Amino acid sequence: MIIYGTRGKVIPGAQINNMACKSCGGQSHSTFGVLRHFHIFWIPLFPTMQSPGTECLKCKQTLMGKELPDQVRQDIKEAVFTKGRVLPAFSGLVLLAIVFAFAGYAGHETSKKEAAYLEQPAVNDYYIVNLPKLFTKSDPTHPYGILKVKTISGGQLEVMVANYAYNRPGGAQQAITKHETTQAGYFAAESFSIDAGDLKKLKADGALHSIKR
Protein backbone atom coordinates (compact mmCIF):
# COMPACT_ATOMS: atom_id res chain seq x y z
CA MET A 1 0.00 0.00 0.00
CA ILE A 2 1.29 3.43 -0.94
CA ILE A 3 0.49 6.12 1.62
CA TYR A 4 0.21 9.55 0.06
CA GLY A 5 -1.70 12.81 0.43
CA THR A 6 -1.12 16.36 1.52
CA ARG A 7 0.09 17.67 4.82
CA GLY A 8 0.14 21.24 5.96
CA LYS A 9 1.65 23.52 8.51
CA VAL A 10 0.99 27.05 9.69
CA ILE A 11 3.99 29.38 9.68
CA PRO A 12 3.53 32.33 12.05
CA GLY A 13 4.42 35.81 10.70
CA ALA A 14 4.82 39.29 12.22
CA GLN A 15 2.02 41.47 13.60
CA ILE A 16 0.73 44.20 11.25
CA ASN A 17 -1.01 47.40 12.35
CA ASN A 18 -1.95 49.03 9.06
CA MET A 19 -5.11 47.20 7.94
CA ALA A 20 -8.63 47.97 9.16
CA CYS A 21 -10.68 44.92 10.15
CA LYS A 22 -13.85 44.76 8.03
CA SER A 23 -15.73 43.35 10.99
CA CYS A 24 -14.65 45.48 13.98
CA GLY A 25 -12.42 48.20 12.50
CA GLY A 26 -9.39 47.14 14.56
CA GLN A 27 -6.00 47.87 13.01
CA SER A 28 -3.88 45.09 14.53
CA HIS A 29 -3.66 41.64 12.98
CA SER A 30 -1.43 38.66 13.37
CA THR A 31 -0.19 37.18 10.11
CA PHE A 32 0.58 33.60 9.10
CA GLY A 33 1.10 31.40 6.06
CA VAL A 34 -0.39 27.98 5.36
CA LEU A 35 2.05 25.76 3.51
CA ARG A 36 0.73 22.43 2.24
CA HIS A 37 2.77 19.81 0.41
CA PHE A 38 2.06 16.53 -1.35
CA HIS A 39 3.75 13.57 0.30
CA ILE A 40 4.36 9.89 -0.41
CA PHE A 41 5.08 7.97 2.80
CA TRP A 42 5.43 11.36 4.51
CA ILE A 43 8.33 12.35 2.28
CA PRO A 44 7.36 15.80 0.92
CA LEU A 45 7.46 15.88 -2.89
CA PHE A 46 6.29 19.38 -3.77
CA PRO A 47 4.21 22.23 -2.27
CA THR A 48 0.52 22.25 -3.24
CA MET A 49 -0.53 25.46 -1.51
CA GLN A 50 1.11 28.60 -0.16
CA SER A 51 -1.62 30.80 1.27
CA PRO A 52 -1.08 33.89 3.43
CA GLY A 53 -3.61 34.85 6.10
CA THR A 54 -4.39 37.36 8.83
CA GLU A 55 -6.30 37.20 12.09
CA CYS A 56 -7.77 40.31 13.75
CA LEU A 57 -6.35 40.56 17.26
CA LYS A 58 -9.61 42.00 18.58
CA CYS A 59 -12.45 39.98 17.00
CA LYS A 60 -10.43 37.02 15.60
CA GLN A 61 -11.83 37.42 12.08
CA THR A 62 -9.61 35.50 9.67
CA LEU A 63 -8.85 36.46 6.08
CA MET A 64 -7.06 34.11 3.67
CA GLY A 65 -5.38 34.51 0.28
CA LYS A 66 -7.50 36.50 -2.18
CA GLU A 67 -9.59 38.00 0.64
CA LEU A 68 -6.54 40.09 1.58
CA PRO A 69 -5.60 43.39 -0.08
CA ASP A 70 -2.96 42.74 -2.79
CA GLN A 71 -0.14 44.57 -1.01
CA VAL A 72 -0.76 42.89 2.36
CA ARG A 73 -0.96 39.49 0.68
CA GLN A 74 2.33 40.10 -1.14
CA ASP A 75 4.11 41.36 2.01
CA ILE A 76 3.05 38.34 4.08
CA LYS A 77 4.03 35.91 1.30
CA GLU A 78 7.52 37.39 1.07
CA ALA A 79 8.01 37.37 4.84
CA VAL A 80 6.61 33.92 5.51
CA PHE A 81 7.35 31.71 2.49
CA THR A 82 11.12 32.05 2.51
CA LYS A 83 13.32 29.59 0.61
CA GLY A 84 14.35 27.97 3.87
CA ARG A 85 10.73 27.10 4.63
CA VAL A 86 9.51 26.19 1.15
CA LEU A 87 12.49 24.19 -0.19
CA PRO A 88 12.12 21.32 2.33
CA ALA A 89 8.72 20.68 0.71
CA PHE A 90 10.69 19.55 -2.38
CA SER A 91 13.03 17.20 -0.51
CA GLY A 92 11.39 14.09 -2.00
CA LEU A 93 12.04 15.39 -5.51
CA VAL A 94 15.70 15.87 -4.64
CA LEU A 95 15.76 12.31 -3.30
CA LEU A 96 14.12 11.01 -6.50
CA ALA A 97 16.64 12.90 -8.63
CA ILE A 98 19.49 11.26 -6.68
CA VAL A 99 17.92 7.80 -7.08
CA PHE A 100 17.49 8.29 -10.85
CA ALA A 101 21.00 9.65 -11.24
CA PHE A 102 22.36 6.61 -9.41
CA ALA A 103 20.24 4.18 -11.47
CA GLY A 104 21.48 5.91 -14.64
CA TYR A 105 25.09 5.62 -13.47
CA ALA A 106 24.67 1.94 -12.54
CA GLY A 107 23.11 1.24 -15.95
CA HIS A 108 25.99 3.00 -17.66
CA GLU A 109 28.54 0.94 -15.71
CA THR A 110 26.70 -2.29 -16.64
CA SER A 111 26.74 -1.48 -20.35
CA LYS A 112 30.47 -0.60 -20.14
CA LYS A 113 31.14 -4.00 -18.52
CA GLU A 114 29.01 -5.75 -21.14
CA ALA A 115 30.85 -4.07 -23.98
CA ALA A 116 34.09 -5.45 -22.49
CA TYR A 117 32.55 -8.96 -22.14
CA LEU A 118 31.43 -8.85 -25.78
CA GLU A 119 34.93 -7.84 -26.84
CA GLN A 120 36.68 -10.46 -24.69
CA PRO A 121 34.41 -13.45 -24.09
CA ALA A 122 35.55 -15.80 -21.32
CA VAL A 123 34.88 -19.42 -20.41
CA ASN A 124 31.95 -19.69 -17.94
CA ASP A 125 30.34 -16.44 -19.13
CA TYR A 126 26.55 -16.66 -18.99
CA TYR A 127 24.51 -15.26 -21.85
CA ILE A 128 20.88 -14.50 -21.12
CA VAL A 129 19.26 -14.94 -24.51
CA ASN A 130 15.95 -14.49 -26.25
CA LEU A 131 15.37 -18.10 -27.32
CA PRO A 132 12.87 -17.54 -30.18
CA LYS A 133 15.46 -15.30 -31.85
CA LEU A 134 18.03 -18.10 -31.74
CA PHE A 135 15.96 -21.25 -32.08
CA THR A 136 12.82 -21.48 -34.16
CA LYS A 137 11.24 -24.16 -31.98
CA SER A 138 10.97 -22.18 -28.73
CA ASP A 139 8.15 -21.57 -26.32
CA PRO A 140 7.13 -17.92 -26.91
CA THR A 141 5.60 -17.66 -23.42
CA HIS A 142 9.02 -18.46 -21.85
CA PRO A 143 11.40 -16.76 -24.26
CA TYR A 144 14.40 -16.24 -21.95
CA GLY A 145 17.10 -18.84 -21.51
CA ILE A 146 20.76 -19.11 -20.60
CA LEU A 147 23.82 -20.11 -22.57
CA LYS A 148 27.10 -20.90 -20.81
CA VAL A 149 30.45 -20.62 -22.54
CA LYS A 150 32.17 -24.04 -22.28
CA THR A 151 35.29 -23.48 -24.35
CA ILE A 152 36.80 -20.81 -26.57
CA SER A 153 39.21 -21.66 -29.34
CA GLY A 154 40.10 -19.97 -32.58
CA GLY A 155 37.39 -17.35 -32.24
CA GLN A 156 34.70 -20.01 -31.79
CA LEU A 157 32.69 -20.23 -28.58
CA GLU A 158 31.30 -23.60 -27.64
CA VAL A 159 28.19 -22.91 -25.58
CA MET A 160 25.80 -25.07 -23.59
CA VAL A 161 22.05 -24.39 -23.63
CA ALA A 162 19.94 -24.41 -20.46
CA ASN A 163 17.19 -27.00 -20.10
CA TYR A 164 15.08 -24.27 -18.49
CA ALA A 165 13.36 -21.18 -19.86
CA TYR A 166 11.84 -18.13 -18.19
CA ASN A 167 9.09 -15.63 -18.94
CA ARG A 168 11.30 -12.70 -17.86
CA PRO A 169 15.04 -11.94 -18.13
CA GLY A 170 14.95 -11.46 -14.33
CA GLY A 171 14.06 -15.15 -13.91
CA ALA A 172 17.20 -16.16 -15.79
CA GLN A 173 19.29 -13.68 -13.80
CA GLN A 174 17.99 -15.17 -10.55
CA ALA A 175 18.87 -18.69 -11.67
CA ILE A 176 22.46 -17.48 -12.09
CA THR A 177 22.70 -15.54 -8.81
CA LYS A 178 21.10 -18.43 -6.89
CA HIS A 179 23.63 -20.84 -8.45
CA GLU A 180 20.93 -23.02 -10.00
CA THR A 181 23.02 -22.90 -13.16
CA THR A 182 25.87 -24.80 -11.50
CA GLN A 183 23.64 -27.75 -10.58
CA ALA A 184 23.87 -31.01 -12.52
CA GLY A 185 21.41 -31.27 -15.38
CA TYR A 186 20.81 -27.52 -15.64
CA PHE A 187 22.40 -27.43 -19.08
CA ALA A 188 21.68 -29.83 -21.92
CA ALA A 189 24.44 -32.28 -22.78
CA GLU A 190 24.91 -31.17 -26.38
CA SER A 191 26.53 -27.83 -27.17
CA PHE A 192 26.78 -25.62 -30.21
CA SER A 193 29.19 -23.06 -31.63
CA ILE A 194 28.96 -19.30 -31.92
CA ASP A 195 31.47 -17.19 -33.81
CA ALA A 196 32.93 -14.68 -31.30
CA GLY A 197 32.63 -12.05 -34.00
CA ASP A 198 28.83 -12.53 -34.09
CA LEU A 199 28.29 -11.67 -30.42
CA LYS A 200 27.88 -7.94 -31.04
CA LYS A 201 25.38 -8.62 -33.82
CA LEU A 202 23.39 -10.96 -31.52
CA LYS A 203 23.39 -8.22 -28.87
CA ALA A 204 22.23 -5.61 -31.40
CA ASP A 205 19.45 -7.95 -32.65
CA GLY A 206 18.19 -8.47 -29.08
CA ALA A 207 18.94 -12.21 -29.31
CA LEU A 208 21.58 -11.68 -26.61
CA HIS A 209 19.83 -9.87 -23.77
CA SER A 210 22.63 -9.54 -21.23
CA ILE A 211 25.86 -11.11 -20.00
CA LYS A 212 26.77 -12.26 -16.49
CA ARG A 213 30.31 -13.06 -15.48
Site residue total, Zn ion (CB under 5 A): 8
* Of the candidates 97, 2, 101, 1, the residue with the CA atom closest to the CA atom of residue 46: 97
CB of 56 to Zn ion, least distance (A): 3
Out of 59, 87, 95, 122, the residue judged to bind Zn ion by CB under 5 A: 59
CB of 41 to Zn ion, least distance (A): 42
Residue 151-180 contact track with Zn ion, rule CB under 5 A, x = bound: ------------------------------
Residue 26, interface with Zn ion (CB under 5 A)?
yes
Which residue, 26 or 171, has its beta carbon nearer to Zn ion? 26
* Of the candidates 39, 35, 47, 34, the residue with the CA atom closest to the CA atom of residue 6: 39
Out of 10, 20, 24, 103, the residue judged to bind Zn ion by CB under 5 A: 24
CB of 58 to Zn ion, least distance (A): 5
Site for Zn ion in 65-104 (CB under 5 A): none
Q: Given the DSSP bridges, would you call strands 126-130 and 62-64 parallel, antiparallel or unpaired?
A: unpaired
CB distance 12 to 39 below 8 Å: no
Q: How many helices (H) and strands (E) does the chain have?
A: 6, 9
Residue 39-58 contact track with Zn ion, rule CB under 5 A, x = bound: -----------------x-x
Spatial neighbors of 1 by CB under 8 A, at least 6 apart, are: none
Which residue, 8 or 25, has its beta carbon nearer to Zn ion? 25
* Of the candidates 15, 76, 27, 26, the residue with the CA atom closest to the CA atom of residue 51: 76
Count CB-CB contacts under 10 A for residue 106.
9
With contacts defined by CB under 5 A, name the span among 22-30, 94-102, 117-125, 185-193 that binds Zn ion: 22-30
| CA gap 18, 166 in Å, rounded | 74
Residues of this chain that bind Zn ion (CB under 5 A): 21, 23-24, 26, 56, 58-59, 61
